[in-house]
Amino acid sequence: MASKQSKKTAKKKTAAKKTAKAKSATKKKVATKKTAIKKAPTKKAATKKAATKKAEVTPAKKKKRKRSSKKTNEHYVNGKEFYEQIKEYYRTDDLKDILAESIHKIATGLSFAPNFINYSYKDEMVGDAVLKMFLALKNKKFNVDTHNNPFSYFTTIAFHAFINRIKKEKKHRDTITRYQETVYGDMMQDNNSPQGTVYTDPSNMPDDE
Residues 61-83: pLDDT tens digits? Answer: 555 555 444 445 788 999 999 99
**Alpha helices for the chain (secondary structure H):** 2-73, 79-92, 97-111, 122-138, 150-192
22-26, 108-112, 173-177: the lowest-pLDDT one = 22-26
The residues near 192 (Cβ < 8 Å, ≥ 6 apart) are none
- Residue 200: pLDDT over 50: no
pLDDT band of 199, cuts 50, 70, 90: very low
Give yes or no: residues 119 and 52 share one domain.
no
Give yes or no: residues 177 and 93 share one domain.
yes
Give yes or no: residues 108 and 170 share one domain.
yes
Domain that holds residue 129: 79-189
Give yes or no: residues 86 and 185 share one domain.
yes
Give yes or no: residues 103 and 172 share one domain.
yes
Q: How many domains is the chain partitioned into structurally?
A: 2
In terms of Cβ atoms closer than 10 Å to its own Cβ (0-12, 13-18, 19+), residue 110 is buried
- Residue 203: pLDDT over 70: no
pLDDT band of 142, cuts 50, 70, 90: very high
Give yes or no: residues 88 and 185 share one domain.
yes
pTM over 0.85: no
Give yes or no: residues 92 and 178 share one domain.
yes
